[in-house]
Each structure stands twice: as structure tokens, then as C-alpha cells.
Amino acid sequence: MSQMIQLKLPDGKIIELESGATVMDAAAKIGPGLAKAALAGKINGEVTDLRVPLTSSADLEIITSKSPEASDVCRHSMAHIMAEAVLKMFPDAQFGIGPAIETGFYYDFKLSRALTVEDLELIEKEMEAGIKAKSPFIRKELSKEEALKYFTETNQPFKVELINELGDQTITTFTHGGFTDLCRGPHVQDSGAVKHFKLLSVAGAYWRGDEKRPMLQRVYGTAFSSKEELKEHLDRLEEAKKRDHRKLGKELDLYSIHEEVGPGLVFWHPKGARIRHEIETFWKDQHYKHGYELINTPHIGQKWLWETSGHLDFYKESMYSPMEIDGADYFVKPMNCPFHIMIYKSQMRSYRDLPLRWAELGTVYRYEKSGVLHGLMRVRGFTQDDAHIICTPEQIENEIREVLRFSLGIWKAFEFKEVKAYLATRPEKAVGEESRWATAIESLRKAVAAEGLECEVDAGGGAFYGPKIDLKVKDAIGREWQVTTIQFDFNLPERFDMTYIGSDGNKHRPYMVHRALLGSIERFFGVLIEHHSGAMPLWLAPVQAVVMPITEKHHDYARKIVSSMKLQGIRCELDDRNDKIGYRIRNAQMQKVPFMLILGDQEADDGKITVRLRNGENLTGIMLDDFIREQEWKKVSI
């Protein structure tokens, strides 16, 4: 007699099935409607395939199109449908991997030629045919030897490599139509369960991210459960293209990157440097107001420093080769932390000296593979808005609350309205006393709660050296960006033997918190461009106003206006070119200039100005002093 197992459903109801029955069998027992709608299952909280046999009692949930996990299941299946279509067009194709990703999927292929935009359209047509065929996804279990034999005979070396790395375990494949893939699943019931998709692009991708391995072609796609969601997403992608900081950076003459000089190294043009200056000036002023001291440290340091910090053990692949000076090896710094610690250790510290809040706009250099470099978002040389807080255990909670409030004020100043916190707690392997971890986590938790922030807890997701809060902001088109980090560190204080003399006259270990508000100036600048679509807030605009006399007889009046505005610290330019006023206005609007001051006969006679806003609105008959007084030309506080 077969053994019976019990499955507990989300509503608390218990159903019984014979051991070996599948998730699909369970869905059918619950009801035919659910069986038809089922996409996957969830056993004891883990998403699993409908065809997986159940061998013991468990909690069971059936995933349908309404479940949060449905998108990943559908997109993973869509990647397989795309791979089948590619196989039909390229029978000798070799396959890499094809996972679901946020809002979409991709698959890596080695093909006989490079794919074109026209090929993507043909692949889409083949996918549509595959969807109409409603081919069932068939799960099969193989031994390692059987799997190696199959994928060797079908000339799939990338799959063979993956199988060889697996232990002696049962291996699963999924087949639909004429395509079989090495895969754990889960997958939908058949190819007809996923319909609304679009292939987006092709990019090069090294096999397993290794530049020494073969270059494959990665085809990206997106898929949603409805036409409406797909259209909304494609519209957002189109808007994102318009806001691309690389495109706008060139059009607005903000910065450039010269491959012949060095990939991932940024050249700041005058307008970009002006915006950066305003950002950094505001950043410095606010740090002084919030009790920080600014410091500056060298760009290179001797080898022993990086050995002590652990970077040469754990971070060497991202560091550049050393240079020899006077017989000693020096490394360009990838981080500022060890230098700040050396300042701390330059003298004995007392509890009366703490807390210390030290901040630096420190330029660092890290090696990034050429394939991941991306405009300002991923570079090899960047300026970190670094700060370190060194304090006593009694001070730590207030310090964390203050730095979180400071962070939120900064993001409000740059006009980011939606901020979410992510709290990462102690992992299984960690350094530092458990009591210090508990204190640190509780201080982070209380700070988030005090500010009323939405918070997601990443249990066990902290670094081995301490818990952290990450803040993510949403931009104008709903994309989330990782920005601020507030990171405890129980590792470096130990490695560098940081101490202070307590009120009891004994040495104690201080708490140390790494804190970056903007992350890096370069990446933040890219996010800022895309958030504002290049139209910077008035206080950040490289040119805040352009004065435009309509004819030559208005030039003297225009020069007086420009002189008056510049004396008040306004970034103002005169455009007295012998071009039509409409052309000059359009040019200023394309450069995202906030205000255009148009001066003709009436303005000169009345001693007033006409102001055209970059959105096309006109303000007429305004006194210059009134206009200047009403605008926030400079951000002074938060």
C-alpha cells in the first residue's frame, strides 16, 4: 500500500495524496480550475515545478498568474521558447544559460554569425509559432552519465561543462517542441501559457563572465502577463532611452570618455564640472553643518596598509598592479577607509574626543571588466563621497539616527521623493562579537522606524564584517537606484587595533561606521541626469539664465542685465548672436536652460524683462529684482 502524505494549504486546509504524486496532482485535487491556472508550486516556501514528485508532507501553495512569483516562472519559460526558436533558425547553435531577470529574460548563444535587428524579428515570429503550438514542458530526470552523453552527442559543450561541475546527483532536463535544456525549472505547463513578450536587444557576453572564455551573443527580452503591462513597460524603456545619461551627457556637453586614453575614465567638461562643483559645494557645506570635519588623504599607499586592511586578500582582483617607489610596493587606493584609520591612529583618542565624523570626497580606482563599463554608472576611476563615524557604544544609536536623517535630507534636496530602506543582518560567517552585532542591528532598525521608512529585511545578508542599511531611491520613471549605504565594520577596527581610553581609564574598541550618501559622484551624476532628463533644478543648472536681446539696439540693456545678475552670483550668459530670436530660444531650450530673458523695445523702455521658461511658458512685464528675489538660485540648507 502506498504511503500517504499530507499537504497543508495556505488557508489551513489539509489534503492527502499518495507519495510520489506531483504538484500538478495536488492542484487537480484542489479543483479543476486551479489545475488549469497553475504555473508552478511552492513547497515549504520554495518555488518548484508542477511536475516534481512529492515524497513527504509539506506546506503547499499553487502559483498562478496572480502570484508574485509568476513573472519569474513565465519569463524563464519564455527564455526556453526563445532558445527553441533560435535552434530552428540556427540548427548548429550552442547554448549557454537562459535565466529570468527583473522585467525579462535573456539567453546566451554561440552562433555561426552575428545576429541583426532583422533576426530578432524573425526569432519573434518563430516564438509566436511556438506559443501557438502549446507544446508541453516535459521534465525528465537523468543520471550524470546520461546527461553528459546526451549533451555531448548534441554538441553542447557549455552544458557539458556545467554538468561536469555538478556532483553525483540526479540531473533534470526540460523539453518542449524540439528543444531540450539542462534545467531545474520550474516551468509553466505548456508554451501557450506565456504570450505577451518582446525581444529587445543583442549584446556580447563572455561565457561565465570570463574575458578569456568565448564571446557569446546575449539576446534580451521582456515578458508580462498582459498586453497592457507589456505596453507600459515598453513605454518606460522608450522614455529611459530619451533620458540615457550617455546620450544627454553628449548633447549637453557635460562629460566625455576617451577609450584611447583609458576606458572607464571620465573627462569633465566645463558645464559638467560646474554642476559637479555645485553638488560638491552643497555636500561640503551640509557636512560642516551636521558636525562633520572634512579630510583629504593620499591616492597611493604602501603594500603593508592593504595587507593589514585585508584588501590584498579579498579585493586584489579589483586593485591595480603596484608601482615600486624607493624599493617599496605602492598601490593606488580602491577605498579610503584605511587612510581615515591612519588619521585616527595618529594620536591616542579619549572617549571625550568621540564621536568623530570624518568625510572625504576621495578619488579611488578599481578595476572593472571592460564588458561591464557603462557611461558614468560603472567606471574605473571615481570619487567616493566617503565618511566614517567612530564612536562609543553609548553613542551609536543617536549617530545612526542622525546619519539617516541627514541622508534623507540630502535626497530631498536633489528632488528624489521615494526612498526605501533595506536592512541586511548577520550572516552565518561573521567577525565581531554577537553582542556588538545585536546592538548595531537594533540601532539600524530603530533609526529606520523613527523616520517612518518602508524597510525590507535581508536576513543574513550583511557583510561578514557588519550589518548595514542600504537606501534606494526611485527616479522620475519608477526605476530604483541603490544609493546611500550605512555600513558597520567590526573587521577594520580589529585589524588596525583601533582603541580609545574610556572613562574607566582602560582601552576600548570603538564602533566604526562607513557611510556613503551619494555613492560615487560619477554614478550619482548619471542618476541625476536621468532623473531630471537633463533639465537640472535651477540651483544645479550649469547656465541658469540666458539673456537674449532681440536686435542690436537692445545690446546695451542686455549687458546691464547680465552684469547685474552675475554680481548676484547667478550663472548667466549673453546670447547676442545675429540669429533669429526663435532659433536662439530653441537652442537654449535644447540645452535645458531654466530661464531665457527676452529683451525688446518694450522691455528696454520700461526697464523690465520678459522671461521664457524652458517648458515654453512666458512671463511678461517683470522687474528684474523681483524675478531674481523669487528664485532659489542656490541651495543653502536642508
387 versus 20: which is more confidently predicted?
A: 387
366 classed as catalytic = yes
Of 42, 276, 311, 514, which one is the catalytic site residue?
Answer: 514
Q: In the structure, what pLDDT confidence band is assigned to residue 555 with cuts at 50, 70 and 90?
A: very high
Q: Of these residues, 42, 218, 243, 468, which one is catalytic? A: 468
Specify if 357 maps to a domain.
Answer: yes
Q: Residue 573's beta-bridge partner residues? A: 546
How much is the mean pLDDT over the chain?
93
Which helix (DSSP H) or strand (DSSP E) does residue 71 occupy?
helix 70-89
In a domain, 495, yes or no: yes
Question: Per-residue confidence at 110, pLDDT binned at 50, 70, 90?
Answer: very high
Shared-domain flag, residues 215 and 290 = no
Of 49, 72, 181, 386, which is the active-site residue? 386
**Domain assignment of residue 154, yes or no:** yes
Least confident of 6-20, 173-187, 374-388: 6-20
Boundary residue ending a domain (45, 63, 81): 63
Show Cβ contacts of residue 186 under 8 Å, excluding neighbours closer than 6 positions: 39, 40, 41, 47, 48, 49, 50, 52, 73, 76
| Residue from 524, 395, 535, 397 nearest 471 by CA | 524
Same domain, yes or no: 520 and 564: no
Are the C-beta atoms of 269 and 253 separated by less than 8 Å? yes
Domain shared by 431 and 566, yes or no: no
pLDDT digits (tens, 9 = 90+) for 368-390: 988 788 999 999 999 999 999 99
pLDDT band at 472 (very low <50, low <70, confident <90, very high): very high
C-alpha dist (Å) from residue 331 to 266, 295, 305, 608: 21, 20, 9, 60
Q: What's the pLDDT at 235?
A: 94
Contact 154, 178 (CB under 8 A): no
pLDDT in tens, 291-348: 999 999 999 999 999 999 999 988 899 999 999 999 999 999 999 999 999 999 999 9
Query: Does residue 2 register a pLDDT over 80?
Result: no
Which residue in the list 76, 357, 388, 571 is annotated as catalytic?
Answer: 388
Same domain, 349 and 423: yes
pLDDT in tens, 197-221: 999 999 998 999 888 899 999 999 9
Region 231-251 average pLDDT: 95
**For the chain, what percent of residues have pLDDT higher than 70?**
100
Which H or E run contains 474? strand 468-474
384 is catalytic: yes
Q: How far apart are the first and last CA of the chain?
A: 73
Q: Which domain holds residue 235?
A: 70-243
Residue 42's alpha-carbon distances to 6, 186, 248, 380, 430, in angstroms, are 15, 10, 45, 42, 31
Residues 280 and 373 both lie in one domain? yes
**Are residues 54 and 76 both part of a single domain?**
no
Predicted confidence band of residue 482 (pLDDT cuts 50, 70, 90): very high
- 88 shares a domain with 236: yes
Domain boundary among 531, 565, 596: 531
Residue 552 within a domain? yes
Instruction: Give bridge partners of residue 302 from the DSSP assignment.
Output: 330
In this structure, is residue 303 part of a structural domain? no
Catalytic residue, chosen from 156, 286, 384, 487, is 384
At 160, the pLDDT band (50, 70, 90 cuts) reads very high
Angle subtended by helix axes 117-133 and 70-89, to nearest 10: 110
- Measured in residues, the chain has a length of 638
d(CA 355, CA 340): 14
Q: What is the mean pLDDT of residues 268-297?
A: 97
pLDDT confidence tier of residue 638, bands split at 50, 70 and 90:
confident
| Cα distances (Å, whole numbers) of residue 453 to 246, 419, 474, 535 | 32, 7, 14, 28
Domain identity same for 59 and 75? no
pLDDT of residue 312: 92
For the stretch 391-428, pLDDT in tens is 999 999 899 999 999 999 999 999 999 999 999 999 88
Question: Residue 465 in contact with residue 514, Cβ under 8 Å?
Answer: no
Residues 401 and 517 grouped into a single domain:
yes
Question: DSSP readout, 264-280?
Answer: T-EEE-HHHHHHHHHHH
Of 366, 378, 401, 554, the active-site residue reads 366
**DSSP alpha helices (H): ranges in 244-335?**
245-251, 270-289, 303-309, 311-314
Q: Is it the case that residue 1 has pLDDT exceeding 70?
A: no
DSSP code of residue 466: B
The grid coordinates of residue 47 equal 518555488
The percent of residues above 90 in pLDDT, for the chain, comes to: 77
From CA 448, how far away is CA 405, in angstroms rounded?
9
Residues 151 and 24 in one domain: no
Say if 456 falls within a structural domain: yes
CA distance 42 to 56: 14
In this prediction, residue 635 has a pLDDT band, given cuts at 50, 70 and 90, of confident
Indicate if 245 belongs to the active site: no
- Residues 141 and 210 both lie in one domain: yes
- Same structural domain, 146 and 163: yes
Residues 6+ apart with CB under 8 A from 435: none
**What is the phi/psi pair of residue 42, to 5°?**
-135, 110
Q: Would you state the cell numbers that stand for residue 371, as one nine-digit string? A: 564588458
**What is the CB neighbour count within 10 angstroms for residue 433?**
11
Residue 68's pLDDT band (cuts 50, 70, 90) = confident
CATH number at residue 523: 3.30.930.10
Q: How many domains does the chain have?
A: 4
Q: Exposed, middle or buried, 43 (CB in 10 Å: 0-12/13-18/19+)?
A: middle
> What integer is the mean pLDDT of 128-146?
94
β-sheet bridge partners, residue 598: 548, 610
User: Is 388 labeled as catalytic in the residue annotation?
Assistant: yes
The verdict on whether 337 is a catalytic residue reads: yes
10 membership: H or E segment, kind and range: none
- Look up residue 577 and give its amino acid: R
Q: Is 15 within the bounds of a domain?
A: yes
Strand order in the sheet with 179-182: 138-142, 171-176, 179-182
Using the 8-state DSSP alphabet, how is residue 374 labeled?
B
CATH number at residue 612: 3.40.50.800
Answer yes or no: is 96 within a domain. Answer: yes
